[in-house]
Amino acid sequence: MFARHNKFWVNVTIALSVVVILFGFPAFQRKFGFPASLIWTLVVVGGVWLTYFIRAYLWSDGNASKK
């Protein structure tokens, strides 16, 4: 069950990253120009992955020892 659940969230994270890259980068580029748009896109994609890693940590057994 955990492997299936984990695979689902990895797929969701990948899909959100692709959406941010495809739609966010052009939107940021129109507003901020090239160097800043690349930085903003990477920051948002990093935030998506950070959210995934936080979710994975909170649902893993690594957090159980602190309870």
Q: Tell me: the pLDDT tens digits for 13-38?
A: 999 999 999 998 898 888 888 898 89
The domain limits of the chain are: 14-57
Mean pLDDT of the chain: 83
Terminal Cα distance for the chain, rounded: 23
pLDDT of residue 1: 44
Q: Is the pLDDT of residue 40 over 60?
A: yes
CA atoms within 13 A on the CB side of 44: 18
Residue with the larger pLDDT of the pair 5 and 50: 50
State pTM to two decimals: 0.72
